[in-house]
Amino acid sequence: AQSVTQPDIHITVSEGASLELRCNYSYGATPYLFWYVQSPGQGLQLLLKYFSGDTLVQGIKGFEAEFKRSQSSFNLRKPSVHWSDAAEYFCAVVSMEYGNKLVFGAGTILRVKS
Partner 1 sequence: ETGVTQTPRHLVMGMTNKKSLKCEQHLGHNAMYWYKQSAKKPLELMFVYNFKEQTENNSVPSRFSPECPNSSHLFLHLHTLQPEDSALYLCASSQELRFTDTQYFGPGTRLTVL
> Which residues of the chain form contacts with partner 1 (CB under 8 A)?
4, 9, 32, 36, 41-46, 49, 51, 90, 94, 100-107
Instruction: Quote the least distance from Cβ 114 to partner 1, whole Å.
Output: 26
Residues with Cβ within 8 Å of residue 57, at least 6 apart in sequence: 48, 49, 50, 64, 65, 66, 67
- Over its C-alpha atoms, the chain yields an Rg (Å, rounded) of 14
Report the residue number, 22 or 49, with the smaller CB distance to partner 1: 49
Report the residue number, 14 or 42, with the smaller CB distance to partner 1: 42
Instruction: Quote the least distance from Cβ 30 to partner 1, whole Å.
Output: 13
Instruction: Quote the least distance from Cβ 15 to partner 1, whole Å.
Output: 25
Report the residue number, 43 or 53, with the smaller CB distance to partner 1: 43
Report the residue number, 13 or 103, with the smaller CB distance to partner 1: 103
Instruction: Quote the least distance from Cβ 106 to partner 1, whole Å.
Output: 5
Q: Please, what's the b/e burial string for 10-46 (b: 16 or more CB within 10 A of its CB; e: otherwise)?
A: ebebeeeeebebbbbbebeeebbbbbbbeeeeeebee
